[in-house]
Structures are given as structure tokens and as C-alpha cells.
Amino acid sequence: MFCSSPECKGQDTVTQPTGDVTAAEGDTVTLNCTFETTDPSPSLYWYKQGVNDSPKYLVKCFSKTVDHSPEIQKDRFHAEIIEKSVPLKIQKLQLSDSAVYYCLILGTRLFI
């Protein structure tokens, strides 16, 4: 990837806490993700990757808009941009929610 705009300075970064989150079925958990970007309108994504599975798109946050994957239950998964973070809240945990969750950022000034 490269940046073609002269205003592009620095680098977009995403930080997620390391380690496992332990919870019981039916519980609610919040997975944290913080980011740094010079982009005024970044898009933040959450993906879920189960064992021996490819990553699956869950949620995209852009400004005040939240777009859910049609494959997930919208009432159980919620994310929104709050300043420099985009926490993912999962309610009514199910055994099938056990996975690795990834947060990533795509800026409007990045091109492939």
C-alpha cells in the first residue's frame, strides 16, 4: 500500500490488548481496539477468525455509521467509533463466539 496525497504523514496504527478473554455463555464482553490515524474519516473493521477458518467480516464503523455483516445477529454485536477507539461489544455469548477477533483500519487516502 502507498499514500498518494501530500498530506499523508505518519502511519495508521491499530492496537488491541493481547491475551485471552474468558467469559461464560450468556455473558457480555467488550473487546477493545484503539487507533491512531491522520485520516479525518477512517473506516474501522472487526473480523472474527475461528479455528481452521478464514477471517469473517463482522462490523464496519465509519463516522457515525455502523454496517453489520448480514451473517451476524445485529442485536448481539455492536461497535462504534468513540474518539480514538472502536470497542466491539458481544452480548449473550455463545460457544460459537469463541475465536480470534481482529480490528483493522482503512483510510480514505490509501490505495493498493
Domain containing residue 35: CATH number = 2.60.40.10
pLDDT per position as a tens digit, 17-61: 988 999 999 999 999 999 999 888 889 999 999 999 999 999 999
Phi, psi of 95 (to 5 degrees): -55, -35
Is residue 6, in this structure, part of any structural domain at all?
Answer: no
Closest CA to 74 of 88, 55, 95, 54: 88
- C-alpha to C-alpha distance for 85 and 69, rounded to whole angstroms: 20
Q: What is the pTM (predicted TM-score) of this model?
A: 0.82
Residue 12: inside a domain: no
The three cell numbers locating residue 109? 487516502
46 by DSSP, 3-state: which?
strand
Residue 7, domain member (yes or no): no
43-49/100-106 β-pairing? antiparallel
| Confidence label for 108 from pLDDT (cuts 50, 70 and 90) | low
pLDDT tens profile 65-89: 999 999 999 999 999 999 999 999 9
Domain carrying residue 76:
28-107
